[in-house]
Amino acid sequence: MKPLKERNQATVGAATLALIVLSSLAVFFSDDLPIIGTGTTYSAYFSEAAGLADSNEVQIAGVKVGEVSTVVLAGNQVRVRFKVRDVRLGDQTKAAIGIKTLLGEKYLSLEPGGTGAQDPGETIPRTRTTTPFDVNTALGELSKTVDNLDTTKLAESFKAVSDTFKDTPEHMRGALDGLSALSKTISTRDKALAELLANTGKVSGTLAARNDQIVKLITDGNLLLAEIQRRKDAINQLLRGTRDLANELRGLVDDNRTQLKPTLQQLEKVTAMLQRNQDNLSRGLAALAPFVRISTNTTANGRWFEGYLCGLLPPYINLGPGKTNGLTINPDGCLPPISGGGR
């Protein structure tokens, strides 16, 4: 066997390049390979797409088993390719486009059936597929239809029919009179109906714009309910403990009712006496304020008592014979302490 360096380098380069290309393709399409792929790809025909899009979920009995690969137009119908994993589809499998959320998100629902296996290369026909009724689309079409109605001509038409059958029996005339009244009502409420349908479209648009917030709110609510369910035993135990505590307190009060009654009666008397003497207590506290203030000033400068004696000496002292001026000590005399709690 020749060494690699002795072979034709162009052939070696081409083989290496081909090997690299094949490896890249194998990695890129690894999900579609029959042995190492992650699922099997099927397809189905539908009369319309109904809002189904790529990457939407594929479910069986509410459980996700795959996702939609492509949604393409095939003539006057739609061909949907989808991939499923770890499930077996029978040759009578049915497919339907379902509504996943209130805001219109879709998913592909499968109902396996049949004794044989569904051939991945054979497309599920329209006889075994169904599409949903889209409320948003229906409201939009209704709004357009009502806008295009000539309510005046409609009222005239109903009136003409009523006049034509005016000689018919009583019950027929009553029915036609009702139709005429209905047409007049519709004609007079034309603006209100148009406004109602326009507001309905705005509400649908707002809900669609807030889809993420609404889904998050519902998800958080589910998490809260799940947490409450998970802690159900703890909550039940807490409630039982609270009930037992209430029963114990009730029993304690019942057992000590005889002892507590005289005590409560005495407490009520004391409270009544304090209430009657409230004014006297207030005056006593006001009179006590000067004493407390003077006592505080006496001991405020340190760990000793400090004070002065007012009136021990006369306000004016004569220094002796020959002295023309005396010594003035306290010309104003002694003043009484300030009462009333002021400083």
Span 329-339, pLDDT tens digits:
666 667 665 54
Mean pLDDT of 184-190: 76
Mean pLDDT lowest for which of 155-159, 171-175, 226-230? 171-175
| Residues 223-230, mean pLDDT to the nearest whole number | 81
Residue 4 pLDDT greater than 60, yes or no: no
Per-residue confidence (pLDDT) for residue 343, from 0 to 100 = 44
pLDDT-derived band at 110, boundaries 50, 70, 90: very high
Tens-digit pLDDT profile for residues 69-81:
999 999 999 999 9
Residue 57's pLDDT is 93
CA 136 to chain centre: 24
Of residues 316 and 67, more confidence is placed in: 67
Residue 28 clears pLDDT 70, i.e. is over it: no
Res. 158: pLDDT tops 80? no
% of the chain surpassing 70 pLDDT? 74
- Strands 316-317 and 327-328 come out as antiparallel
Contact criterion met (CB below 8 Å) for 206 and 199: no
Q: How confident is the model at residue 168 (pLDDT cuts 50, 70, 90)?
A: low
For residue range 82-95, list pLDDT tens digits in order.
999 988 899 999 99
Residue 38, pLDDT > 70, answer no
User: For residue 175, is pLDDT > 60?
Assistant: yes
Q: Considering only CA atoms, which of 98, 92, 82 is closest in space to residue 130?
A: 98
List, in order, residues 6 or more apart from 157 with CB less than 8 Å away: 183
pLDDT 10s digits, 205-223? 787 778 888 878 888 887 8
Average pLDDT estimate for 145-157: 73
What whole-number distance in Å separates Cα of residue 18 and Cα of residue 38?
A: 25
Quote the pLDDT of residue 231.
80
Question: Side chain identity at 174, as an amino acid letter?
Answer: G
Report the range out of 130-134, 137-141, 225-229, 318-322 with the highest average pLDDT.
Answer: 225-229
Higher pLDDT, 305 or 75: 75
Q: Smallest Cα–Cα separation from 59: which of 34, 95, 104?
A: 95
What does the radius of gyration of the chain's CA atoms come to, in whole angstroms? 50
**Contact between 90 and 111 (Cβ < 8 Å):** no
pLDDT score of 342 more than 60: no
Residue 313 or 58, more confident: 58
pLDDT, greater one: 211 or 28: 211
Average pLDDT value for residue range 195-210: 80
| Selected residue with higher pLDDT from 164 and 59 | 59
Residues in the chain: 343
pLDDT for 176 beyond 60: yes
Domain extents in the chain: 38-133, 138-209
The answer on pLDDT for 1 being more than 60 is no
Mean pLDDT of the chain, nearest integer? 78
Dist CA 136 CA 139 (whole Å): 5
Q: How confident is the model at residue 26 (pLDDT cuts 50, 70, 90)?
A: low
More confident residue, 11 or 122: 122
**Per-residue confidence (pLDDT) for residue 108, from 0 to 100:** 94
For residue 194, the Cα-to-chain-centroid distance in whole angstroms is 32
pTM of the entire structure?
A: 0.34
